[in-house]
Structure 1
């Protein structure tokens, strides 16, 4: 895995490999990846989230790319981010932890 990508691991062990820039949409992940010292996250570019299920982490990764794509657009031209209502609460908790 290159330094330009990050591996996010869900509670079930599913791995999501995303661009470093996309991962850094999350302030929590950004800080984990830029920490001083020999932390696994910094060394390997891999972060485990034992509290976040695979479907939620997948939606979070989608949001990171959505946010990157539309961050410089006017609010009138940004399409709505599609969110299934049945995962809204769990996704909100994860987003709060990830500071996105």
Structure 2
């Protein structure tokens, strides 16, 4: 499984599987489109490392539990810190998730 490195505005690198990154329509376009990022690195200067880390956690959570939607009792709740809610909403809109 190949990985992608997302780079935040404070130059923190966060690794995510290519499969999980492809859940985001924006990241998928960046990875597959004519403007392919070099060496699996995608710079996202709009986001700081805390927000980007939470986005990565959500994408991995979504990948893990996507097929388990029928068995709702076994899916743990994804925690969103109240103080990050607005930033995460903006990130989700930008990333198409």
TM-score normalised to structure 2 length:
0.91
Aligned mate of 1:61, from 42, 51, 56: 56
Hey, what does 2:22 align to over in structure 1?
24
Aligned-partner Cα distance in 2 for 1:51–1:34: 21
CA distance in 2, matches of 1:66, 1:88: 17
TM-score (norm 1): 0.88
- Aligned partner of residue 61 in structure 2, secondary structure: helix
Aligned to 1:82: 79
Cα deviation, residue 40, structure 1: 5.1
Aligned length: 95
Query: What is the root-mean-square deviation of aligned Cα atoms in Å?
Result: 1.4
Q: 2:91: which partner in 1?
A: 94
- Cα separation, 2, equivalents of 1:80 and 1:18: 21
Where do 5+ consecutive residues of structure 1 fail to align? none
